[in-house]
Chain A
Amino acid sequence: MVTLPAAALDGIRRNPHVSNVESDAERYPIASTRETVDLGRMATLDVMAQSVPYGIDMVQARDVWDADGNGTIDAGAPTGAGRTVCIIDTGYQQSHEDLPDAAGGYSQVDDSWSTDGYGHGSHVGGTIAAQNNALGVVGVTPGTVGLYIVKVFNDSGKWTTSSDLVDALNRCVAAGANVVSMSLGGGSFVSNENNAFAAAYAGGVLSVAAAGNDGDTSYS
């Protein structure tokens, strides 16, 4: 990845030793709007009750670890324990009372992967791993999967690039991730990015990216 004077681009493209030149495309959090807390609704919530987001049962997550429906994790049920999900996003609010502690992380944008001034990454973290307790919500795994965090978006949710996304992926792989979660997207196909994710997949790492929230067929 290089930054070139625009006037030099054609010359590099014509260099006989160069096989391909492609732009470093932008990648955005999806949804791109700031995660907000509905304070009015929050005031009416029973603070000693846990709610189950509709998506958790849509994917039948509780049928896996709470098959008897008694609200507790079944003995011996698969819960994601011993596996690691890497979240590439806006960071992770490690201090949140309903989120399990991530094992580690890295920030490309500031000095703290364990804070999240935008909220998007923590929202994703809750969907993946919010604990099964009397607080907030429960995740697809009930707080049992290992987490590694790579912060690529800043506290304003500002876009990143395909090259930084590949760097984030490499950090996830190096941290032993089994799954990479990316609630993000961008319109341009980048072959280098595609190759990096294909290589990770060949190495046993499943990458999951957002398909967009617009409900249409456009690529995101």
Chain B
Amino acid sequence: MRHVRPLLTLVLLAVLLLTAASPALGESVDVAVARDTVRVWVNYGPGRGPEVHAALANANAT
């Protein structure tokens, strides 16, 4: 009995940790990809369109 109680405590701790971590494990790949991109308004000065469009293209903007 003296050896069983610490073992039981460890098992309960492991269950607790795994349960707490499960929502993150359940996250889809799509969500992870979406967080790597940002959707933004980009404003630029008069006549600067070509330079900014080139910079956006270089940055793989879509």
Contacts and interface: CB of A to CB of B under 8 A. Distances in A.
Q: Does A associate with B in a complex?
A: yes
Interface of A: 1-9, 11-12, 15, 17-24, 161-163, 190, 192
Given A11-B59, A17-B51, A2 B40 contact: yes
Nearest to B61: A2
Among A2, A12, A15, A190, the most chain B Cβ lie within 10 Å of the Cβ of: A2
A17 B55 contact: yes
A190 B41 contact: yes
B59 A17 contact: no
A21 B52 CA distance: 12
A107 B51 CA distance: 34
A119 to B, nearest CB: 28
A17 B50 CA distance: 10
22 contacts: A1-B39, A2-B40, A2-B62, A3-B40, A4-B37, A4-B60, A4-B61, A5-B37, A6-B37, A6-B38, A12-B55, A12-B56, A12-B61, A15-B55, A17-B48, A17-B52, A21-B42, A23-B40, A24-B39, A24-B41, A161-B39, A163-B39
The 3 closest A-B pairs by CB, nearest first: A8-B59, A17-B48, A20-B43
B53 to A, nearest CB: 10
Contacts of A2: 39-40, 42, 56, 61-62
A18 B61 contact: no
B59 A18 contact: no
Contacts of B56: 2, 4, 12
Interface in B21-62: 35-45, 48, 51-52, 55-56, 59-62
B55 A20 contact: no
A8 B57 CA distance: 11
Nearest to B49: A17
Contacts of A15: 51-52, 55
A186 B16 CA distance: 37
Contacts of B43: 18-21, 192
Contacts of B35: 6
Contacts of A8: 59-61
Contacts of A11: 55, 59
A96 to B, nearest CB: 35
Nearest to A23: B40
Contacts of A5: 36-37, 59-61
A23 B2 CA distance: 59
Contacts of A6: 35-38
